[in-house]
Amino acid sequence: MRVQMLGLCRFSYLGLRGYQRDHQTVAERRAFLYDPDRLARRWRWFTTLALPGWLAQTDPDFTLVIMTGPDLPQPYRSRLHDLAAATPQMRLEIVPPMDRHLDACRAAVAPHVDAGADVVGHFRHDDDDAVALDYITRARRDFLRVRGLWRAHGRLSLDHSRGLMLRAGAGGAQFVPRIAHNMGVALTVFLPPEEPKTALHFNHTRLPLWMPGVAVTQPLMFIRGIHPDSDSGDIGPGIGYEIAADDLDRQLASRFGLGQAELDDLARGEALGGSC
């Protein structure tokens, strides 16, 4: 069974909808998104937290579409172009501002759907979150274990729900262990290749309205960044669990290829930078 894994990461895409912060005009949205200090911070989160996991996935058979607008300021547009050119799994899609955000997301993803796949595992990824190094491996493997449920309904969500909430502050990175269902990160929506929708078309907080879902609560699978520039800055509902400090360091390294010191530096920089 051919399972295509296909994701979308929006990097400061200029559109009027699809975010929790509202702006009345494209000009207002552009001024907010393209503020130089904000872009510098977003790039730090993207390259420090989000990108390492995608560059080191244990299963390299996936596509991550990075979506941005045609007037994304330099040097960021060139940096994204160079990243996509150097990384076989990454595609850069330049999408003009569109009033309907979901249409824009579909325009970015549609050219990369493998029509020959039996099923497409759509996922979304924010530029300030991280997935574990084996996210693609486990998502594909766990789907095959429950594919009968997908066959019965034609849609299925697979939620790898054990994660860490990373709060940025002057003291560094504070981690809150959390089992958070349908958080949006490390969440895969499996659809037929002919389905004209993506993961973004389904509100991740209301997925049971549209499809059955399976929650996989082990192992640790994601880190969610929480800082002043976050589109949604709260932890949200979930179940807390305990993790010892030495085990946290070990799991940051083994599960994400990250270190406490670099994340502390990232968090302190965000706290000093403030919010736009």
| Residue 226 pLDDT greater than 60, yes or no | yes
Q: How many domains does the chain have?
A: 1
Lowest mean pLDDT among 35-44, 154-163, 220-229, 267-276: 267-276
Residue 22's pLDDT band (cuts 50, 70, 90):
low
User: Residue 190: beta bridge partners?
Assistant: 121, 156
User: Residue 172: beta bridge partners?
Assistant: 169
Collapsing DSSP to helix, strand or coil, 127 comes out as coil
The residue written with tokens 């045609």 in the block is: 70
| Residue 46 pLDDT greater than 90, yes or no | yes
How far out from the chain centre does Cα 28 lie? 25
Q: Which helix (H) or strand (E) holds 248?
A: helix 245-256
Separation between Cα atoms, residue 21 and residue 101, nearest integer Å: 13
Mean pLDDT of 15-42: 80
What does DSSP assign to residue 257?
S
Q: pTM of whole model > 0.85?
A: yes
Give residue-wise pLDDT tens across range 252-265: 999 999 999 999 99
Backbone angles phi, psi at 247, to 5 degrees: -70, -35
What is the CATH number for 70? 3.90.550
Give residue-wise pLDDT tens across range 156-205: 999 999 999 999 988 899 999 999 999 999 999 999 999 999 999 999 98
What does DSSP assign to residue 145?
H
| Residue 274 pLDDT greater than 90, yes or no | no
Mean pLDDT of 82-95: 98
Q: What is the DSSP string of 36-105?
A: HHHHHHHHHHIIIIIHHHHHT-SS---EEEEEE-TTPPTTHHHHHHHHHHH-TTEEEEE----SSHHHHH
Mean pLDDT of 80-88: 98
Residue 170: give the domain boundaries: 3-273
CB 42 within 8 A of CB 158: no
Q: What is the DSSP string of 2-49?
A: -EEEEEEEESS---SSSSSS--SSHHHHHHHHT-HHHHHHHHHHIIII
Give residue-wise pLDDT tens across range 95-135: 998 888 899 999 999 999 999 999 999 999 999 999 999 99
Q: What is the pLDDT of residue 227?
A: 86
What does DSSP assign to residue 109?
H
Amino acid at 31: A
CB 27 within 8 A of CB 144: no
Q: What is the pLDDT of residue 272?
A: 53
Report the candidate in 141, 207, 221, 138 with the shortest Cα–Cα distance to residue 177. Answer: 221
Q: What is the pLDDT of residue 276?
A: 29
Separation between Cα atoms, residue 111 and residue 157, nearest integer Å: 22
What is the average pLDDT score of the chain? 92
Q: What is the pLDDT of residue 275?
A: 35
Report the candidate in 12, 69, 3 with the shortest Cα–Cα distance to residue 35. Answer: 12
Q: What is the pLDDT of residue 26?
A: 77
Report the candidate in 266, 257, 250 with the shortest Cα–Cα distance to residue 173. Answer: 266
Lowest mean pLDDT among 28-37, 94-103, 233-242: 233-242
User: Residue 122: beta bridge partners?
Assistant: 6, 189
Backbone angles phi, psi at 85, to 5 degrees: -65, -30
Angle made by CA atoms 246, 247, 248, in degrees to the nearest 5: 90
